Amino acid sequence: MLTAAQYDEKILFSRLAEGDEEAFRQLFHHYNKQLQPFVVKLTRNPSAAEEVLQEVFLKIWAHRERLSEVENPRAYIIRIVSNESIDFLQRQTKEQRLAEYIRKTAVEGAPSTEQFISYRETEQRLQQAIERLPGACRQIYRMSREQYKRIPEIASELNLSNSTVKNQLVKALKSIRLHLGNLLPALVAWILSR
């Protein structure tokens, strides 16, 4: 037999399955604060909790048509939160391994003076290309490439749609490629020769 809370959650899930945005808001506000400590405990990273929960609710919305079939909404959400937390930890582990590999490789294969000067020149040209971008485009590029923020995160922060952010990022990358022009083949050749 369902408790009153489970019954209310089932009704919320049914409304959400029909695309009811208000039901989604209610579900988000109901669970977001409750799940935050759980995610922090799983990931051992307070700043990751927001990212993980955002992914959880994006998945719930994306697969909302299935929600009317869910018997235990709380268990369903907790399972998604657990899976997203594990995915976060796996991504973090891969990134740490990559960073360690890069550190190790950098020590073993330190660049020559000529390579270092070439790199610095390329870096300066890249910074010039970034500075030439229009304001919003430059801001989105920096948030993505320098602050490592994802498109949904940037969109939320700047109050823009995901597609606007993506389009501005594509525009920025195209402009930078054009500015760097003839340096790119040489840079790629140098990277491949190492």
Please tell me the predicted confidence (pLDDT) of residue 193.
Answer: 47
Structure tokens belonging to residue 173: 């990358």
How would residue 166 be classed by pLDDT, with cut points 50, 70 and 90?
very high
pLDDT in tens, 56-98: 989 899 888 988 888 888 899 999 998 888 888 888 888 788 7
Domain containing 121 equals: 111-193
Tell me if the pTM is above 0.75: no
Q: CATH no. for residue 12?
A: 1.10.1740.10
Q: Residue 36: what residue type?
A: Q
Pick the last residue of a domain from 94, 120, 147. Answer: 94
Tell me the C-alpha distance between 174 and 179, whole Å: 9
Pick the last residue of a domain from 39, 61, 94. Answer: 94
DSSP string, 32-90: HHHHHHHHHHHHS-HHHHHHHHHHHHHHHHHTGGGGGG-S-HHHHHHHHHHHHHHHHHH
Please tell me the predicted confidence (pLDDT) of residue 187.
Answer: 54
Supply φ then ψ for residue 55, to 5 degrees.
-65, -40
- Average pLDDT score over residue span 162-180: 87
- Average pLDDT score over residue span 156-174: 90
